[in-house]
Amino acid sequence: KQEVTQIPAALSVPEGENLVLNCSFTDSAIYNLQWFRQDPGKGLTSLLLIQSSQREQTSGRLNASLDKSSGRSTLYIAASQPGDSATYLCAAFSGGYNKLIFGAGTRLAVHP
């Protein structure tokens, strides 16, 4: 059974810090892994998708990496800003389950 875990559950940092959010999954037979952003009371916005054959994806100040063998993905946020404050969710998709399995998210607060 695929389980996705995100650590830490919450994080508070001063503006300008570089930070890393962690996501681990128990079944390495994934097709891809996605990182989403969720603002309070809102839906999800896809940030990055990493295919199983890829090691990382980058979009602006965001970089996501994937290590299937260890069952881990990280989301790196460079030079954090108050506007980055949100909950970040990762989700693994594998053909065997034919659905996205979500982690519980990391709630990030970036203070000025």
Partner 1 sequence: DGGITQSPKYLFRKEGQNVTLSCEQNLNHDAMYWYRQDPGQGLRLIYYSQIVNDFQKGDIAEGYSVSREKKESFPLTVTSAQKNPTAFYLCASKIPGPKNIQYFGAGTRLSVL
Give contact residues for partner 1 (rule: CB under 8 A).
Answer: 4, 9, 31-32, 34, 36, 41-46, 49, 51, 89, 91, 93, 95, 99-105
Q: How far is the CB of 112 from partner 1 (least distance, A)?
A: 26
Considering the complex, state which of residue 95 and residue 112 has its C-beta at the smaller distance from partner 1.
95
CA 43 to chain centre: 15
Burial (CB < 10 A; 0-12, 13-18, 19+), residue 14, is exposed
Min dist. Cβ of residue 63 to partner 1 (A): 19
Radius of gyration in angstroms for the set of CA atoms belonging to the chain, rounded to a whole number: 13
Q: Using the minimum distance from each CB to partner 1, give the nearer residue, 23 or 110.
A: 23
Beta carbon nearer to partner 1, 34 or 80: 34
**Helical (H) or strand (E) element with 80:** none
Give, rounded to a whole angstrom, the gap between the first and last alpha carbons of the chain. Answer: 41
